[in-house]
Amino acid sequence: MIYLSVAETAKRWNISERSVRNYCAQGRVEGAFLAGKTWSIPEDAIKPERVGKKRNSAQTLLYVLKSEKKSRYPGGIYHRTQIDLTYNSNHMEGSRLTHEQTRYIFETNTIGLVGNEVLNVDDVIETVNHFRCIDRVIDCAQTGLTEAFIKELHLILKTGTSDSRKEWFAVGAYKKMPNEVGGMETALPEEAGRKMKELLVWYHQKGEKSLDDILEFHVRFEKIHPFQDGNGRVGRLIMFKECLKYKIVPFIIEEDLKLFYYRGLKEWSRERGYLRDTCLTAQDRYKAYLDYFRISY
């Protein structure tokens, strides 16, 4: 068997090298394999057909995320999602790492040169941990949502942080001390377990989930605030997972949408449109990524 490089294949198929790499990472080139960071493509491989919006059903976002995660394909939607979701979700909770620093950590597993800047160790640890959380979300996207999985996300996120060394902080378990969010009271520690079980019972009775169902779960989860810290990030990871499960385009709340997102959470019981419109705006941005990477939705 004779194998060609990406450049040779791109020339034969009259397309860009990026497109060839995308096809390979999506599993659409039979016999292609990745050695290190280099794709080898059979000489007789057939160029995948472009079918616009009516793409092969196998090429869903979840399929591509799993494929690119497995191959550690750089520069695709998996790569983009890891960096953008981690940066924005952590930044909302006070992380001082920049988008570029987040990207550098993901791509090189090192911190890089920061000049005279002082980095918070927890910011770095939680960034790396959040990458692992996203991997877990992708791996478990099609499974049912459970307390055990939610606690696992919290455990992954907070392991190795300074919080994990505090006696009163429960890592991977519900809170031990009362807390509040945005000046509003949340469930008491002794109520958290019961209210989470009730929330999951309500959610699973819904059957096939709509975007509104996922958003309402998120609002109720944040009002319970079951963990001592990390509730926002765990909650947004859950939304991403459930969108993947029910073939709803997921979304990332970016800096310019943060205040609208907080308003939407606070006003959900009175006006659902605030949170819905904010998330639909974020969803449109993610759709632009999918269009660029030619992924069906």
- Structural domains of the chain ordered from first start: 3-50 (1.10.10), 70-292 (1.10.3290.10)
DSSP 149-181: HHHHHHHHHHTTSSGGG-TT--TTS--SS--EE
Element (H, E) at 83: helix 77-92
Q: List the structure tokens of 213.
A: 């169902």
Q: How far apart are CA 155 and CA 222, in angstroms?
A: 17
Report the C-alpha gap between 227 and 59 in whole angstroms: 36
Whose CA is closest to 192, among 157, 155, 232, 147? 147
Question: Quick one: average pLDDT of 204-213?
Answer: 94
Structure confidence at residue 269 (pLDDT): 95
Give the model's pLDDT for residue 56: 42
Least confident range from 16-25, 126-135, 230-239: namely: 16-25
- pLDDT given at position 181: 87
Confidence of residue 114 (pLDDT cuts 50, 70, 90): low
Cα separation values, 106 from 45, 120, 170, 185, Å: 32, 17, 27, 36
Residue in the structure block whose two tokens are 């988008």: 99
Range with lowest mean pLDDT among 14-18, 90-94, 103-107, 118-122: 14-18
Residue 54 has pLDDT above 50, yes or no: no
101, 109 in Cβ contact below 8 A? no
Q: Is the pLDDT at 255 greater than 90, yes or no?
A: yes
Contacts with 167 (C-beta within 8 Å, 6 or more apart), sequence order: none
Ramachandran sector of residue 134 (left: φ over 0; alpha: ψ -120 to 50; beta: rest) = alpha
Q: What is the pTM of this model?
A: 0.81
The predicted structure's pLDDT at residue 58:
46
Instruction: Please provide the average confidence, as pLDDT, over all residues in the chain.
Output: 92
Cβ neighbours, 10 Å, residue 35: 8
Per-residue model confidence (pLDDT) at position 278: 97
Average pLDDT rounded to a whole number, residues 16-26? 85
The shares of helix, strand and coil residues in the chain, as percent rounded to the nearest 5, are 55, 5, 40
Q: In the prediction, which pLDDT does 26 show? A: 81
Beta bridge partners of 35: 38
Per-residue model confidence (pLDDT) at position 35: 78
- Which one has a higher pLDDT value, 13 or 249? 249
3-state secondary structure of 5: coil
Within a 10 A sphere around the Cβ of 58, how many other Cβ atoms? Answer: 12
Q: Which amino acid is at 67?
A: S
* Cβ contact 21:34 at 8 Å: no
Query: In this prediction, what percent of the chain has a pLDDT beyond 90?
Result: 75
Looking at per-residue pLDDT, the higher value among 160 and 54 belongs to 160
Res. 57 pLDDT band, cuts 50 70 90: very low
What token pair was written down for 165?
């060394």
Query: Is pLDDT of 95 > 70?
Result: yes
Is the pLDDT at 51 greater than 90, yes or no?
A: no
Confidence check: pLDDT of 219 > 60: yes
pLDDT digits (tens, 9 = 90+) for 143-152: 999 999 999 9
Mean pLDDT score, 194-223? 96
For residue 255 the two structure tokens come to 């800096």
DSSP assignment, residue 249? -
**For 82, how many CA atoms within 13 A lie in the half-sphere containing its CB?**
28
> What confidence score (pLDDT) does residue 189 get?
97
Instruction: Confirm if 194 and 238 have CB atoms less than 8 A apart.
Output: no
Q: Which two tokens stand for residue 70?
A: 């497995």
pLDDT of the residue at 59: 78
Q: Is the confidence at residue 118, as pLDDT, over 90?
A: no
Q: What is the pLDDT of residue 113?
A: 64
